[in-house]
Chains A and B, each alone.
Chain A
Amino acid sequence: MNKSNLWRPAAALWHRDVVRFLRQRNRIIGALATPLVFWVLLGAGFTPSFRPDGGDPVSYLAYFFPGTLVLIMLFTAIFSTISVIEDRREGFLQGVLVAPVSPAAIVLGKFLGGTTLAVGQAILFCVLAPFAGIRFPIELLPSLALAFVLVAFSMTGLGFLVAWPMDSTQGFHAIMNIVLMPLWMVSGALFPIPPGNSVIGWLGAINPVTYGVAAIRQAMGGPEIPGVPNLGLSLAVTALFCVVTFLASLAIVLKRRKTA
């Protein structure tokens, strides 16, 4: 029999993350406020001049909506995973590491916790969709739900991969500014990635976040934007990104855990 427990500990860690988050209202506001301000101000400023591909004008509020959702999920996932740093040094995670718990339970619990919170926040923000003229097509709702879950899961994965090896939260902020934010910026969230041969075009194409933004954009039935990958491809790449971040997270936890 395997003495390292998986499902029950994973569920407990998941539940704990959600309870904790709900007890810290400022975290909820924190993860929503910055993207919201971005969305309102950039939307107000860019809408008059925004013409993707020189075609018909598109409300920037509508264009930027999927990108804002992804930013909310990124922030929420980061707030959720950053606790790993303090928790491991002194706190709750010490007790988890000396318990007969499979490394997969630690990773799974954290991923499910981060995903739940990020999806919850994204749904909360969708209340504002009518102000951008967005109406969710019923037939696309399952795809949208899937896109939310996959994007939230992969954002949690990114956060976990950064947080787990870190010794201080300061280091996390640096990585966030020079890695995570640029990933989001060249994902088609802020501006359309120009199709064809250009540095930005290539960066956008190899950036996994691009496909998350695209999946949400298509599943919301927004205006056609040239060069955005189709829904099937976007969901598939995002799902693959989930698998990769999960396995990589498992590998780094195992590496530490194997030492003892």
Chain B
Amino acid sequence: MNAVTISGLVKAYGSHTVLPGLDLEIPTGEMFALLGPNGSGKTTLFRILATLLAPDQGSVSVGGFDVQRDPAGVRGVLGVVFQSPSLDRKLSIRENLRYAGALYNLHGTELRSRMDAALSALRLEEKADALVETLSGGQQRRTEIAKCLITQPKILLMDEPSTGLDPAARIDLWAVIAALRARTGLTVVFTSHLMDESEKADRVGILNAGRLAAAEAPANLLASAGPEVLRVATPDPQAVANWLRENRLEPHALDNEVRVGSPDAHPLAARLTASLGQAVYSTTVAKPTLEDVFLFRTGARLNE
């Protein structure tokens, strides 16, 4: 069964169509990254999945429940981690967890044992009675996740989970998520604009202008960008791009750079430099990154 099924999803704000007709299926147990720049429709899709925003057309089901016909059903199986924390800063970690549990009708020993389990899973026991406003960014994010976990969601939805975290806290966070998935088979869907983060997912969906440009395993996406990528630093991207096209390649020109996927990038670089001379400052051959994939699939850069 799919954890998430989206078909023909349309969403517009006034005359501005953000999602012009999206189809996506995420199988149960998968970790799916939704990658896209600002304005790609990522946040809108997140809010629709979280039952905070209604679709204009199409159908969206989460955990087998339709987001419009049965939002309460969706809410019952979904854990949501927001970009801006949904914690009460004036309350302690334990109090935040207790109130969150009450929203899901949890109480008594059941609630206490789940709270203890979540606190220990996220290594927050020592801070349990500290007010949230006194915690570090990483601790707050972990509290946020602990808050989700006490409801034992089947699907965890996270919006830019690494935002505001330092590298150590980031590594920490993903270790916790990996351990959870191994133990519970949780489905994880998260939005991101960070490449290294997305590579942890089973599949990466590339969202561009409200359309899914790709949804594949990171390794496949990388392979599709060519075994190697040639990056050419140049003052005249047009000339370099034209030369590459004449050689039946599909270059992507940026401001002072041209990138192209190629099976034999080293000889290509040599021929290019010999032909264009002055127009080539430097050439670099590297393994493709998801950023290259993004550029090749959408013609746009991810982080502007």
Note all chain A residues with C-beta closer than 8 A to B107. Answer: 8
B90 near A98 with CB under 8 A, answer no
Note all chain A residues with C-beta closer than 8 A to B71. Answer: 257, 260
Number of B residues whose C-beta is below 8 Å from A? 34
Q: Indicate whether B91 reaches chain A with its CB closer than 8 angstroms.
A: yes
Note all chain B residues with C-beta closer than 8 A to A92. Answer: 86-88
B76 near A16 with CB under 8 A, answer no
User: Which chain B residues numbered 150 to 175 have a C-beta less than 8 Å away from chain A?
Assistant: 151
CA distance A259 to B99 in the complex (A): 25
User: Which chain B residues numbered 74 to 121 have a C-beta less than 8 Å away from chain A?
Assistant: 75-76, 78, 80, 82, 84-88, 90-91, 95, 98-100, 102-105, 107
CA distance A99 to B95 in the complex (A): 17
CA distance A92 to B98 in the complex (A): 13
Among B51, B95, B103, B151, point to the contact of A96 (Cβ < 8 A). B103
Q: Indicate whether A19 reaches chain B with its CB closer than 8 angstroms.
A: yes
Q: Indicate whether A100 reaches chain B with its CB closer than 8 angstroms.
A: yes
**Which of B53, B84, B88, B151 is the most central at the interface, judged by chain A CB atoms within 10 Å of its CB?**
B88
**Which of B68, B78, B102 is the most central at the interface, judged by chain A CB atoms within 10 Å of its CB?**
B102
CA distance A8 to B103 in the complex (A): 7
Among B50, B87, B88, B105, point to the contact of A5 (Cβ < 8 A). B105
Min distance, Cβ A76 to any Cβ of chain B, angstroms: 17
Note all chain B residues with C-beta closer than 8 A to A5. Answer: 103-105
A94 near B88 with CB under 8 A, answer no
Q: Indicate whether B147 reaches chain A with its CB closer than 8 angstroms.
A: yes
Note all chain B residues with C-beta closer than 8 A to A96. Answer: 103
Note all chain B residues with C-beta closer than 8 A to A259. Answer: 53-54
CA distance A91 to B88 in the complex (A): 7
B103 near A16 with CB under 8 A, answer no
Q: Indicate whether B72 reaches chain A with its CB closer than 8 angstroms.
A: yes
B51 near A12 with CB under 8 A, answer no
CA distance A100 to B107 in the complex (A): 15
B52 near A260 with CB under 8 A, answer yes
B90 near A260 with CB under 8 A, answer no
User: Which chain A residues numbered 1 to 35 have a C-beta less than 8 Å away from chain B?
Assistant: 2-5, 8-9, 11-13, 15-16, 19-20, 23-24
Min distance, Cβ B83 to any Cβ of chain A, angstroms: 8
B52 near A4 with CB under 8 A, answer no
Write the chain B residue with the least CB distance to A89.
B84
B interface, over-half SS? loop
CA distance A2 to B147 in the complex (A): 23
A9 near B103 with CB under 8 A, answer yes
A16 near B100 with CB under 8 A, answer no
Note all chain B residues with C-beta closer than 8 A to A141. Answer: none
Instruction: Flag A89-119 by CB within 8 Å of B: 1 or 0 each.
Output: 0111111111111000000000000000000
B100 near A95 with CB under 8 A, answer yes
Among B54, B72, B80, point to the contact of A4 (Cβ < 8 A). B72
Note all chain A residues with C-beta closer than 8 A to B85. Answer: 90-91
Note all chain A residues with C-beta closer than 8 A to B73. Answer: 3, 100
Q: Indicate whether B222 reaches chain A with its CB closer than 8 angstroms.
A: no
Min distance, Cβ A5 to any Cβ of chain B, angstroms: 4
Asked whether A94 and B82 contact (CB < 8 A) given A5-B103, A24-B90, the answer is: yes
A19 near B91 with CB under 8 A, answer yes
Note all chain B residues with C-beta closer than 8 A to A12. Answer: 98-99, 102-103
Write the chain B residue with the least CB distance to A256.
B52
Q: Indicate whether B189 reaches chain A with its CB closer than 8 angstroms.
A: no
User: Which chain A residues numbered 191 to 243 have a C-beta less than 8 Å away from chain B?
Assistant: none
7 chain-A/chain-B pairs, Cβ below 8 angstroms: A16-B91, A16-B95, A91-B86, A92-B86, A100-B72, A100-B75, A260-B54
> Which residues does B use to contact A, with CB under 8 Å?
48, 50-54, 67-68, 71-73, 75-76, 78, 80, 82, 84-88, 90-91, 95, 98-100, 102-105, 107, 147, 151
Q: Given A98-B52, A99-B100, A260-B54, 13 more contacts at CB 8 Å?
A: A3-B72, A3-B76, A5-B103, A8-B107, A9-B103, A15-B99, A20-B91, A24-B90, A91-B88, A92-B87, A100-B104, A260-B48, A260-B71
